[in-house]
C-alpha cells in the first residue's frame, strides 16, 4: 500500500510542477509533511539541505529520500524517484516533436511568457516555506542567512563556496 501511495503522490508532484526542483519544494512539503506525514517539518528542512548539496536535481533527491524514509526500503526510494520523473518523460516525448516546429509562434511564446514569472513565484514560495521557526531560532541563523545572501548577491560567490563557508561558520558558531 505504501508503494502505491508513494507512486501516486510523486507522480502528482511530477505532473503538476513546473520550473524544476526548487519550484517543487513547497508542493513536496505540503504532500509529504502535511498530507501524508512521512516527514516532520524539521526532517523536511534537513532533507532539502541534503538534497541541495548532493549531486542531481533537488526535486528528485527529495523524492528519493522521502521514498526511502516512508517505505523504509530502497524500493520506496526507487518508486518515488521513478514516479516524479515519469510525467516529465511522457510530456517531453509528446511535446518535443511539436515544440521545435511551433516554438516561435505567438501563442507558444505567450505561454512561456506567462510561465516564467509563475516559476519565479514558485521558487520564492519555496524559500518562504523554509523560513520557519525551526530555521531561524537565534541571531546566528539570521547572521548566516544574511552573509550567504550578501556573498551571492553582491560578490557573486558560487554555491559550493557559500555552502562550504556556511558549514565552517556553523561549526564555529554552534
* DSSP line for the chain: -HHHHHHHHHHHHHHH--S-HHHHHHHHHIIIIIIS-SS-HHHHHHHHHHHHHSSS-HHHHHHHHHHHHHHTSHHHHHHHHHHHHHHHHHHHHHHHHHHHHHTTSHHHHHHHHHHHHHHHHHHHHHHHHH-STTT--SHHHHHHHHHHHHHHHTT---HHHHHHHHHHHHHHH-
Supply the pLDDT for residue 64: 93
Residues 166 and 125 in one domain: no
Do 117 and 38 fall into the same domain? yes
Q: Are residues 156 and 94 in the same domain?
A: no
CA nearest 126: which of 39, 62, 40? 62
Regarding whether 47 and 13 lie in a shared domain, the answer is yes
Per-residue pLDDT in tens (0 to 9) along the chain, 174 residues: 899 999 999 999 988 887 677 778 888 898 999 999 999 988 898 888 888 888 888 889 999 999 998 888 999 999 999 999 999 899 888 888 788 888 889 998 998 889 888 888 877 877 777 777 776 668 888 888 889 999 999 999 998 899 899 989 988 988
Say whether both 88 and 126 belong to one domain: yes
Same domain, 81 and 107: yes
Query: What is the pLDDT, as a whole number, of residue 17?
Result: 80
The verdict on 64 and 117 lying in the same domain is: yes
Give CA–CA dist 88/102, Å, rounded.
Answer: 19
Question: Could you tell me if 120 and 160 lie in one domain?
Answer: no
The per-residue pLDDT for 25 is 86
Residues 75 and 157 reside in one and the same domain? no
Which pLDDT does position 135 carry in this prediction?
66
pLDDT at 101: 84
Structural domain count, the chain: 2
Residues 119 and 174 in one domain: no
Domain of 104 in residue numbering reads as 2-135
Does the pTM surpass 0.75? The reply is no
Q: Looking at the structure, tell me whether residues 58 and 140 fall in a common domain.
A: no
The pLDDT of residue 155:
93
Q: Residue 136 has what pLDDT?
A: 66
Regarding whether 9 and 66 lie in a shared domain, the answer is yes
pLDDT given for residue 1 in this prediction: 86
List Cα–Cα distances, 173 to 48, 143, 144, 165, 170, in angstroms.
22, 10, 10, 12, 5
Q: What is the pLDDT of residue 124?
A: 81
Amino acid at each position: 500500500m505504501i508503494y502505491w501511495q508513494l507512486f501516486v503522490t510523486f507522480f502528482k508532484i511530477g505532473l503538476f510542477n513546473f520550473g524544476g526542483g526548487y519550484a517543487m519544494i513547497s508542493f513536496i512539503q505540503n504532500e509529504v509533511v502535511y498530507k501524508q506525514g512521512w516527514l516532520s517539518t524539521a526532517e523536511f528542512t534537513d532533507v532539502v539541505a541534503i538534497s541541495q548539496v548532493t549531486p542531481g536535481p533537488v526535486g528528485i533527491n527529495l523524492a528519493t529520500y522521502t521514498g526511502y524514509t516512508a517505505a523504509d526500503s530502497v524500493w520506496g526510494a526507487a518508486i518515488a524517484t521513478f514516479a516524479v520523473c515519469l510525467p516529465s518523460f511522457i510530456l517531453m516525448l509528446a511535446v518535443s516533436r511539436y515544440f521545435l516546429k511551433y516554438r516561435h509562434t505567438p501563442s507558444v511564446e505567450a505561454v512561456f511568457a506567462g510561465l516564467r514569472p509563475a516559476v519565479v513565484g514558485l521558487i520564492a514560495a519555496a524559500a518562504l516555506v523554509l523560513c520557519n521557526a525551526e530555521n531561524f531560532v537565534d541571531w546566528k541563523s539570521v547572521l548566516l542567512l544574511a552573509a550567504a545572501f550578501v556573498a551571492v548577491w553582491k560578490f557573486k560567490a558560487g554555491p559550493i563556496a557559500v555552502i562550504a563557508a556556511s558549514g565552517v561558520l556553523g561549526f564555529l558558531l554552534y
